[in-house]
């Protein structure tokens, strides 16, 4: 099931119009301006129109992404409470629109240490879930591990899930760019299969509810989040081939968050990336459209790094690492 994160500028239905043009099977949207705390309530006419069009497209497993302002791990209690309220509101907006999954990055511990930050996220989620609609699954996204952000190790979300009283309503969104940047070596088929095996051991594949399929402009273990087009970055094609050909994920939303725009040949990059994924799904090697010179990934040699076997105990976990399963 393929989708893309599409713009709601001018109205929520504009994202569905573009999804229809691209012949997608699902879509990811922001349900509001993600740069602002305040959001106008959804009007009944807008809700009805969105639901009607989604039904006409047979979209059942739609995805939303929460505001980047939200930080459920914040040590600033006023900010954390504001984040809890905003995230709760976003869950209810998803319910109104018939959107099944809401993805969140979780947050940053701000230098207070991973254990403290993870405990805050679990406490925040317990408060959120207590008043959440029953028809929306909140999905914790795997992160690249920039700065003090949490969720770059599978153990992070496993620990949070264990601490949440209503964990059945929690899923995971796995971002391919992020896991590579975090140190999971998915540059080969074997490495990708090993990463999925490690995910299953720590969290369980039944919780893997959404994929973000993005290549990476930065190398393995960089801890930097920079997306690029499928096959044009450090992830390469093998990881995507493993995921899209795995029957266990046939009905799992696979969302493109690659850069928008038009390629030199006049096609939209969403259409091109979608074609690459579908070619891989058929077991074939796709021909890649050349990138403009100013957007090419300048790959550098990567020094051999020691494998990471456990989570670091330091307060700030921003040292670059490579994880080999």
DSSP conformation class of 58: T
Task: Classify strands 215-216 and 227-228 as parallel, antiparallel or unpaired.
Answer: antiparallel
Cα separation, 272 vs 91, in Å, equals 32
Print pLDDT tens along the chain (325 aa): 999 999 999 999 999 999 999 999 999 999 998 888 888 899 999 999 999 999 999 998 999 999 999 999 999 999 999 999 999 999 999 999 999 999 999 899 999 999 999 999 999 999 999 999 999 999 999 999 999 999 999 999 999 999 998 888 899 999 999 999 999 999 999 999 999 999 999 999 999 999 999 999 999 999 999 999 999 999 999 999 999 999 999 999 999 999 999 998 899 999 999 999 999 999 999 999 988 765 666 564 443 333 333 333 333 333 333 333 3
Predicted confidence at residue 133, as pLDDT, reads 96
- For 92, the token pair is 């209810």
Predicted TM-score (pTM) of the model is 0.89
Cα separation, 199 vs 155, in Å, equals 9
Predicted confidence at residue 304, as pLDDT, reads 34
Cα separation, 194 vs 192, in Å, equals 5
Q: What structural domains does the chain harbor?
A: 2-295 (3.20.20.150)
Cα separation, 38 vs 16, in Å, equals 24
Q: Order of strands, edge to edge, in the sheet holding 208-213? A: 2-4, 254-256, 208-213, 170-175, 137-141, 101-104, 63-65, 28-29
Candidates 38, 42, 47; CA nearest to 85 is: 38
The answer to whether the beta carbons of residues 209 and 251 sit under 8 Å apart is: no
Predicted confidence at residue 293, as pLDDT, reads 66
Predicted confidence at residue 323, as pLDDT, reads 38
Where does residue 56 fall: left (phi above 0), alpha (psi -120 to 50 degrees), or beta otherwise?
A: alpha
For tokens 């995921």, the residue is 243
At 300, give phi and psi (nearest 5°): -120, 160
Predicted confidence at residue 316, as pLDDT, reads 35
């Amino acid at each position: 099931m393929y989708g893309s994160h599409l713009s709601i500028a001018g109205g929520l239905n504009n994202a569905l119009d573009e999804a229809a043009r691209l012949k997608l099977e699902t879509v990811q949207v922001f349900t509001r301006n993600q740069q602002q705390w305040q959001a106008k309530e959804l009007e009944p006419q807008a809700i009805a129109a969105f639901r009607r069009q989604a039904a006409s497209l047979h979209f059942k497993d739609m995805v939303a992404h929460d505001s980047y302002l939200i930080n459920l791990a914040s040590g600033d209690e006023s900010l954390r409470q504001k984040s809890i309220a905003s995230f709760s509101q976003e869950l209810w907006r998803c319910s109104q629109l018939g959107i099944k999954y809401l993805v969140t990055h979780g947050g940053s511990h701000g230098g207070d240490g991973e254990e403290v930050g993870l405990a805050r996220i679990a406490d925040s989620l317990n408060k959120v879930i207590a008043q959440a609609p029953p028809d929306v699954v909140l999905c914790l996204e795997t992160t690249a591990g920039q700065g003090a952000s949490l969720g770059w190790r599978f153990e992070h979300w496993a620990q949070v899930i264990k601490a949440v009283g209503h964990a059945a309503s929690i899923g995971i969104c796995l971002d391919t760019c992020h896991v590579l940047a975090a140190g999971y070596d998915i540059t080969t088929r074997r490495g990708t299969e090993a990463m999925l095996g490690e995910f299953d051991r720590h969290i369980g594949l039944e919780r893997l509810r959404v994929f973000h399929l993005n290549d990476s402009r930065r190398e393995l273990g960089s801890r930097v989040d920079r997306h690029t087009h499928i096959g044009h970055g450090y992830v390469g094609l093998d990881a995507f081939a493993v995921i899209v050909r795995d029957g266990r994920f046939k009905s799992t939303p696979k969302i493109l968050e690659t850069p928008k725009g038009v390629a030199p040949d006049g096609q939209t990059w969403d259409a091109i990336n979608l074609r690459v994924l579908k070619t891989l799904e058929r077991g074939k090697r796709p021909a890649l459209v050349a990138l403009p010179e100013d957007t090419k990934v300048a790959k550098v040699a990567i020094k051999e790094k020691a494998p990471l076997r456990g989570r670091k105990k330091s307060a700030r976990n921003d040292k670059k690492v490579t994880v080999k399963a």
